Amino acid sequence: MRTIWAGGLLVLSGAALAGDDPPRLCYEVVGCVQDRTINKRDAEKLGCDQLWTVRNGIFAARGYCFSTQRGIEEFGNVNCRYGDQNEVPLNDYERANIRIIQAIEKRRGC
């Protein structure tokens, strides 16, 4: 498990436990995002930049290839495999968490 700062968030990232599972992503405010649905009230505590970081961290962990300068600078494209977000193999928790975050971002105009 390693601890890093990303987008103003403390991120606990650990090695994958099996096969194609991505590294675990656990954020200080919303917790782990790959094996549980985040609490909407917790997500509401995040600013626009932090919401962006959590949402795109999920995509990055699953192999998304970023095309924007911000995405490349934040996450890189070293082991990316998918150029289309719709092709990224997300689990049900990840999809739900992305929907929660996108709804907040849309409401706030992030």
Contact 5, 11 (CB under 8 A): yes
pLDDT of residue 24: 80
CA angle, residues 36, 7, 17, in degrees to nearest 5 = 40
Contact 29, 45 (CB under 8 A): yes
Amino acid found at 4:
I
Predicted TM-score (pTM) above 0.85: no
CA dist 67 and 83 (Å) reads 8
Owning domain of residue 86? 2-108
CA dist 102 and 68 (Å) reads 18
pLDDT of residue 1: 38
The total number of structural domains in the chain stands at: 1
Amino acid found at 61:
A
Q: Which residues of the chain have pLDDT under 50?
A: 1-5, 10, 12, 14-19
Q: At 64, give phi and psi (nearest 5°).
A: -70, 140
